[in-house]
C-alpha cells in the first residue's frame, strides 16, 4: 500500500483516498466541519487545511500577506505557503503533509474557528448540541481566545420548524451544507438548499415542502453544531450524562448498527445514533429506526399476568409449567419470534426439544415499507436468525399455525414475541385454550394470553440478530431490565427448570457456547461486528 507522511507518522492509503479519510482510518482526526466520510466533498469550512511540502527541489507556492510591527509602527510584508484542504486533496505516495506541526496551519485553523464563532450566538447553556459540538471542541483545541468582535452579531431566523422532526436555528448554522448533502445524496430528496449570500446565508426548505423524507434525522445527526435539533430529543437530556452502548436497530431486517444513548441514573434510553458499518448501514439510519428507541419505554409489558390478572413472575411460570404438562407434545405449538434475538429463540427451541414438542412456528411483526437505501420491508430484526435456527426442526410459518389452530391441532401455544404478522393471525390466537406469551410489549398476543411472562426489550438484554444479508450482529445491553421483566432466554430457562428439564446453561456466555454448535455458522455471535465505540 502507498504511504504518505502526516506530521511524524506514516499513513497508508488506498489510491484515490483523500488525506483526511486515510488519516481517519489510521485513527488521526484532522479537524473538520463540512467533511463527512459518507457525503460528497464540499470543502467549504476550511478547518481541515494542511500544509503540503513541495517535492524536493521545487519551491513552495508562497502568498503575500502582511504583519504589523507594533514597535516600528509599520506593516511588514510576509510570505505564507498556500494551504490545501485535506478533505479534498487526494493522498499521493511519498507526500509530506504537515497538520499539527505547521505554524501556518495553526494560524489558519484558529482563524477559521474565530470566524465561525464571529456571528454565532454562543448560547451553549440552552443548546442541545453542547457537549458534542465541534465549535466547542475545536475552540478548546484551536482557538482558546475570547471573542474579539464586540459588535452585535448578524441576526437570522431562529426555531424554524423544518418538518415533523427537525427545528433549525440559522444563527447557530455554519453553512457547512452537510444537511443539504444528506438530503440530496442519502435521501435522494433535494429538499434543502442555501439561500442568500455571504454572511446572510441560511438553510431553507424548498418552497411548498417540508423536510419530511424518511431520513430527516440524519440531517440533525450530521449537523456538526446545534443548528439542527431533533424535535424528539431537544431539551430532553444533557449529553454528558448519557452513556452509549453498541446496539443493533431492531426496526427492520437491515440491522443498522447503532449506539443506544441512555442515562444510567434513570435507566432510560434517550436516543439512537448510527454506528458506522460499511457493510450494513454505512454511516446512516432511517427515521423509523432512529425513533424506534421509544418502544423501549412505550407499551411495555412490565409485570407478569395469569388469566388477565397481575401475578408474580414465579406464579406465572408455575402456571405456564402446569399448562404445558397438561397439554403434552401432541397439542402444543411452539412459536419462535423474528422480533427476538437468537439467544431467546434458541432457548425456546431448546425447551421445546427437551419437552419433545415438535411443532415449531415462526412469528414476527407485519411487513412494511422498504426502499433501496436502508429500509427493509421485513420489519423484524431476526427473521434470518430464526429461519436458520429452526431449519432443522422443520420450522413452519405463521399461516400454518393459524391453520393448525383452526383445525384444533394446537390447543396450547407457547409464543415468543409481542406481534403477529397478520391481524387474522391474532384473531386465531383467541381460539386456543391456553396461550403462554413471552412478550415485551402489549398487543394482540398479550391480550389473548392465559399467562404473560414479561420479557426484557433488546435494550435491556444482550442479543444476537441476523440481518437480511445473513450477517450475525451482536447488540449490547444498555439498561437494566425494567419492572419485573427478564430476558426471555432467562424466563425460558427458569420454566425449563420448573419442568425438571434444565437447559444446561445459566450465564449468557454458557448459552452462547451451547448455541454455537446448534446454530449454523452464520448466526454465531460475531463479536467483530461490534465495531468501534
Partner 1 sequence: MIKQTTYLSHSYGKPNSWTLSAYESAGGYRGVRKALALTREGVIEEAKKAHVRGRGGAGFDCGTKWSFMPKESKKPHYLVVNADEGEPGTFKDRSIMEMNPHSLIEGCIIGCYGIGAHACYIYVRDELHLSKARLWGAIREAKAKGYLGNNPFGKDYPVELYVHSGAGAYICGEETALLNSLEGRRGEPRLKPPFPAQYGAFGCPSTVNNVETLAIMASAFDMGCDEFSKLSELHPFNDGGARLFGVSGHVNRPGIYEAAVGLTLRELIYDLGGGVLQGRSILGVIPGGSSCPVHLPDELPTLPPDPRYDAYRGKSILDIPLGVDTFRSAGSMLGTCCAMVLSDAVDPVLALHNVMRFYRHESCGQCTPCREGCGWIERILNKVVEGKATIDELDRVHEIASNITGNTICAFGDGAAQPALAFIKRYRKHFEDYIVNGGKSQTRRLTV
Interaction of residue 496 with ligand SF4, rule CB under 6 A = no
- As measured in angstroms, the least distance from the Cβ of 122 to partner 1 is 15
Residues of span 221-250 touching ligand SF4 by CB under 6 A: 222-223, 225, 227-228
* Cell numbers placing 193: 438548499
Residues of span 388-407 touching ligand FES by CB under 6 A: none
Q: Given the C-alpha cell 406481534, which residue does it identify? A: 419
Q: Given the C-alpha cell 465541534, which residue does it identify? A: 134
Interaction of residue 503 with ligand SF4, rule CB under 6 A = no
Alpha-carbon span 225 to 122, nearest angstrom = 11
In terms of CB distance, is 227 or 401 closer to partner 1?
Answer: 227
Number of residues that bind ligand SF4 (CB under 6 A): 13
Q: Do residues 389 and 414 touch, judged by C-beta distance below 8 A?
A: no
Interaction of residue 32 with ligand FES, rule CB under 6 A = yes
Using the rule CB under 6 A, which residue among 19, 166, 173, 439 binds ligand SF4?
A: 173
Interaction of residue 87 with ligand FES, rule CB under 6 A = yes
Using the rule CB under 6 A, which residue among 4, 35, 259, 458 binds ligand FES?
A: 35
Alpha helix stretches (DSSP H) within 200-272? 217-222
Alpha-carbon span 197 to 521, nearest angstrom = 57
Alpha-carbon span 417 to 267, nearest angstrom = 23
Alpha-carbon span 179 to 213, nearest angstrom = 13
Strands (DSSP E) along 200-256, which ranges? Answer: 202-205, 228-230, 243-248
Phi, psi for 472 (deg, rounded to 5): -85, 125
Using the rule CB under 8 A, which residue among 11, 22, 47, 435 binds partner 1?
A: 47
Using the rule CB under 8 A, which residue among 23, 48, 52, 83 binds partner 1?
A: 83
Interaction of residue 112 with partner 1, rule CB under 8 A = yes
In terms of CB distance, is 88 or 422 closer to partner 1?
Answer: 88
Interaction of residue 138 with ligand FES, rule CB under 6 A = no
In terms of CB distance, is 47 or 429 closer to partner 1?
Answer: 47
Using the rule CB under 6 A, which residue among 97, 179, 304, 336 binds ligand SF4?
A: 179
Alpha-carbon span 192 to 206, nearest angstrom = 6
- As measured in angstroms, the least distance from the Cβ of 454 to partner 1 is 53
Q: Which does 112 bind (CB under 5 to 8 A by kind): ligand FES, ligand SF4, partner 1, none?
A: partner 1
Q: What SS3 class is residue 305?
A: strand
Q: Which does 178 bind (CB under 5 to 8 A by kind): ligand SF4, partner 1, ligand FES, none?
A: ligand SF4
Residues of span 180-239 touching partner 1 by CB under 8 A: 193-194, 196-201
C-alpha to C-alpha distances, 270 to 118, 203, 260, 262, 264, nearest whole angstrom: 32, 27, 8, 5, 11
> DSSP letters along 481-519, please?
PPTT-B-HHHHHHHHHHHTT---S--SHHHHHHHHHHHS
Interaction of residue 499 with partner 1, rule CB under 8 A = no
Strands (DSSP E) along 23-133, which ranges? Answer: 49-52, 62-69, 74-81, 84-85, 96-98
Could you tell me how far CA 501 lies from the centroid of its own chain? 38
Using the rule CB under 6 A, which residue among 203, 218, 324, 395 binds ligand SF4?
A: 203
Identify the H or E element spanning 428: helix 423-429
Interaction of residue 293 with ligand FES, rule CB under 6 A = no
Interaction of residue 133 with ligand FES, rule CB under 6 A = no
Interaction of residue 47 with ligand FES, rule CB under 6 A = yes
Q: Do residues 180 and 203 touch, judged by C-beta distance below 8 A?
A: yes
- As measured in angstroms, the least distance from the Cβ of 134 to partner 1 is 13
Alpha-carbon span 381 to 440, nearest angstrom = 15
* Sites of contact with ligand FES (CB under 6 A): 32-35, 43-48, 85, 87
* Sites of contact with partner 1 (CB under 8 A): 41-47, 49, 63-68, 74-75, 78, 80, 82-83, 88, 107-108, 111-112, 115-116, 118-119, 148-149, 151, 154, 174-175, 193-194, 196-201
Amino acid at each position: 500500500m502507498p504511504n504518505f507522511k502526516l506530521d511524524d507518522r506514516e499513513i497508508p492509503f488506498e489510491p484515490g483516498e483523500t488525506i483526511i479519510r486515510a488519516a481517519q482510518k489510521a485513527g488521526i482526526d484532522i479537524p473538520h466541519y463540512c467533511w463527512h466520510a459518507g457525503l460528497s466533498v464540499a470543502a467549504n469550512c476550511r478547518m481541515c487545511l494542511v500544509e503540503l511540502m513541495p517535492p524536493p527541489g521545487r519551491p513552495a507556492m508562497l502568498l503575500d500577506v502582511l504583519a504589523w510591527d507594533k514597535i516600528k509602527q509599520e506593516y511588514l510584508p510576509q510570505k505564507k505557503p498556500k494551504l490545501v484542504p485535506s478533505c479534498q486533496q487526494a493522498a499521493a505516495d511519498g507526500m509530506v503533509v504537515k497538520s499539527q506541526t505547521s505554524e501556518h496551519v495553526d494560524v489558519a485553523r484558529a482563524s477559521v474557528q474565530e470566524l465561525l464563532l464571529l456571528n454565532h450566538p454562543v448560547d451553549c447553556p440552552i443548546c442541545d448540541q453542547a457537549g458534542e459540538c465541534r465549535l466547542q471542541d475545536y475552540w478548546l483545541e484551536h482557538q482558546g481566545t475570547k471573542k474579539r468582535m464586540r459588535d452585535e452579531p448578524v441576526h437570522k431566523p431562529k426555531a424554524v420548524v423544518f418538518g415533523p422532526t427537525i427545528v433549525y436555528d440559522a444563527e447557530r448554522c455554519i453553512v457547512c451544507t452537510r444537511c443539504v448533502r444528506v438530503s440530496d445524496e442519502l435521501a435522494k430528496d433535494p429538499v434543502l438548499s442555501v439561500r442568500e449570500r455571504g454572511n446572510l446565508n441560511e438553510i431553507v426548505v424548498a418552497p411548498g415542502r417540508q423536510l419530511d423524507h424518511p431520513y430527516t434525522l440524519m440531517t440533525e445527526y450530521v449537523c456538526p453544531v446545534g443548528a439542527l435539533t431533533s424535535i424528539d430529543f431537544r431539551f430532553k437530556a444533557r449529553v454528558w450524562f448519557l452513556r452509549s452502548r453498541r446496539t443493533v436497530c431492531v426496526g427492520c431486517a437491515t440491522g443498522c448498527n447503532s449506539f443506544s444513548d441512555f442515562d444510567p441514573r434513570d435507566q432510560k434510553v434517550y436516543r439512537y445514533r448510527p454506528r458506522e458499518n460499511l457493510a450494513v448501514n454505512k454511516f446512516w439510519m432511517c427515521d423509523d429506526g432512529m425513533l424506534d428507541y421509544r418502544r423501549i419505554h412505550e407499551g411495555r409489558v412490565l409485570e407478569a399476568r395469569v388469566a388477565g390478572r397481575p401475578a408474580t413472575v414465579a406464579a406465572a411460570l408455575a402456571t405456564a409449567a402446569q399448562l404445558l404438562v397438561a397439554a403434552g407434545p401432541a397439542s402444543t405449538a411452539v412459536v419462535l419470534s423474528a422480533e427476538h434475538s437468537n439467544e431467546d429463540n434458541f432457548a425456546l427451541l431448546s425447551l421445546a426439544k427437551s419437552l419433545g414438542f415438535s411443532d415449531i412456528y415462526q412469528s414476527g411483526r407485519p411487513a412494511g415499507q422498504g426502499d433501496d437505501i436502508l429500509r427493509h420491508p421485513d420489519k423484524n430484526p431476526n427473521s434470518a436468525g430464526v429461519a436458520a435456527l429452526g431449519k432443522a426442526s422443520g420450522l413452519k410459518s405463521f399461516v400454518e399455525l393459524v391453520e393448525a389452530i383452526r383445525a384444533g391441532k394446537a390447543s396450547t401455544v407457547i409464543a415468543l414475541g409481542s406481534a403477529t404478522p397478520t391481524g387474522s393471525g391474532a384473531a386465531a390466537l383467541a381460539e386456543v385454550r391456553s396461550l403462554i406469551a413471552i412478550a415485551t410489549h402489549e398487543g394482540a398476543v398479550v391480550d389473548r394470553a392465559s399467562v404473560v411472562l414479561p420479557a426484557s426489550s433488546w435494550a435491556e438484554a444482550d442479543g444476537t440478530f441476523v440481518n437480511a444479508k445473513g450477517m450475525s450482529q451482536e447488540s449490547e445491553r444498555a439498561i437494566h431490565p425494567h419492572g419485573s421483566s427478564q430476558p426471555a432466554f432467562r424466563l425460558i430457562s427458569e420454566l425449563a427448570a420448573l419442568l425438571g428439564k434444565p437447559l444446561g446453561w445459566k450465564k449468557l456466555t454458557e448459552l452462547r457456547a451451547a448455541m454455537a454448535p446448534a446454530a449454523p455458522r452464520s448466526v454465531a455471535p460475531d463479536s467483530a461486528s461490534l465495531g468501534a465505540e
